[in-house]
Structure 1
Amino acid sequence: MGFFNRLKESLGKVRESFTAKIDTVLKRRKIDEELYEELEDALILADVGVPATEELIKRLRARVKAERIEEAEDLRRLLQEEMLQLLGPPAPLLLPPTPPAVILLVGVNGTGKTTTAGKLAYFFQQQGKKVLLAAADTFRAAAIDQLEVWAERTGASLVRQKEGSDPAAVVFDALQAAKARGVDVVIADTAGRLHNKAHLMAELGKIARVAGRELEGAPHEVLLVLDATTGQNALSQARLFQEVTGLTGIVLTKLDGTAKGGVVVAIRKELGLPVKFIGTGERMEDLAPFNPSEFVAAIFA
């Protein structure tokens, strides 16, 4: 099964909630104020968020007027096109011309950072790149052990220290090793942290500074791992991490387990941050670069 078909299958809950509601609103209706209000409600319920919803409705109104559209069912096509406009083109990873590239994964507990680190390692290994995983979540021995399992599964190398070590020291060692071994990509897994724990947030800054001293421009990507099932809560997490770490993008996990797929649009509109990868299942291959046109086509399929 190709990735698009897997994506379509994994977004079944989004389609049931989001697209089915929209189709119900548009079925055999005239275009009037009541229809726009119902469409607005459907978008907000799908976690598209108020600002993005207002923008979409405004664009739909303008196009209906300009193109003299009379059939409500035509709004489905317009909505697809305008969602795609809001999401913009795919956002490639910001990898340096000369390796190693350094990717820092951040986020709160339970979003799937360690699993994402392993799946990213698999993604790069499939491209023939040499990958090193840095176990910078030193608060939990289980996270270090889990990353070791991922390293074995994917063929990536691993730099780890004992539980309770300084995470910045792990990243320092990882970059030294990467340069010595000719590694292409370093992926650093960091501890889950709550945005209200100032010392933990400050620690992220220290990790980034250490990386920058060891390698010019590092970290090249700071990706916030968000759990799609949290919907609008994901947005508030993203805002706070953005203030502290200078995020470059989002990895949205667990899209297969939620009806709240509209949060992809909300993130782009409200934060200006691109979703760079999406997770749609448990398998190693169920993490892939986010392609807006495939995503929109899959939820409207």
Structure 2
Amino acid sequence: MERVPAVRRRKLGGELRRLRDLSGMTSGQAAEAAGWHQSKVSRIETGTSSVSAEDVEVLLDVYGVRDRDLRDLLATLAGQGRQRGWWQDFRDVLPVEYRDFISLEAGASRARSMENSVVPGLLQTPAYALALTRDVMPQLSAREVEALVDVRIARQAVLRQKAPLELWAVLDEAVLRRAVGGPAVMSEQLRSLERAATEPGIRLQVLPFGAGGHIGVTGSFVIFSFPRIADLDVVVIDHLTSSLYVDRKEDITAYGAAFTRLSNIALPRDESVALIRRIAEEMSRFAGA
């Protein structure tokens, strides 16, 4: 399955090709101005070879791109942005696929998430994350579990940063009724979801069991969108041992349409919050029994 770097290379190449076209230069002219062979520009634009942040800077200079935010974004896509990601401190416990996922999440401006099994990581409480990690990966040591929970909670900073990630999550009712960690832990988690649903930048909807079968039952997915570049959207589909990254325009369009259909049949915000509250109260009663 394809990793983020390959997806990034194609996205970056496409954007650099667009900027070259806007500059009115041919690939041969761009290569000559950069002091390169034309084949290097072609490989970069098709995403068939890796490109350094320094080479990106050279091309942006050639194309006359002065926008600092855009330059920083494209340097980050090259995998060598100016700032080292905090998740690199957890290299000993994080698989490379998970680090790739976090890097996408950290750079995105919006995430549309369909979840049919568990609470999205960005909305999990520490207790829920701990119980879930223990249950899903029983082979891990206590230290590794603790580190993964720390990462899960650290990821949530994207919701509170200066330019916060906009999160739109559609949750199957099963997510709310699966008592991860037991009724007490789940009750706390649901109360946290209830509060999150009122925060600006977070849109939360629930797909009730009464909605019947829907496309979301076939698997959870996340659609990441990025600032400044409309064609940079990436879909991430979770599997047991890895993640699949989808960036073909036709596939992204299909997943976007699927998410729209799901949001249309899901409960509106107020009704979703009311259902979350009712289930939280049920969990509280079970916890006190």
Shorter-chain TM-score range: under 0.3
- Higher normalized helix content (fraction of residues): 2
TM-score, L = length of structure 2 = 0.28
Q: Could you tell me the TM-score, scaled by structure 1's length?
A: 0.27
Q: Which structure has more RCO (C-alpha within 8 Å, separation ≥ 6)? A: 1
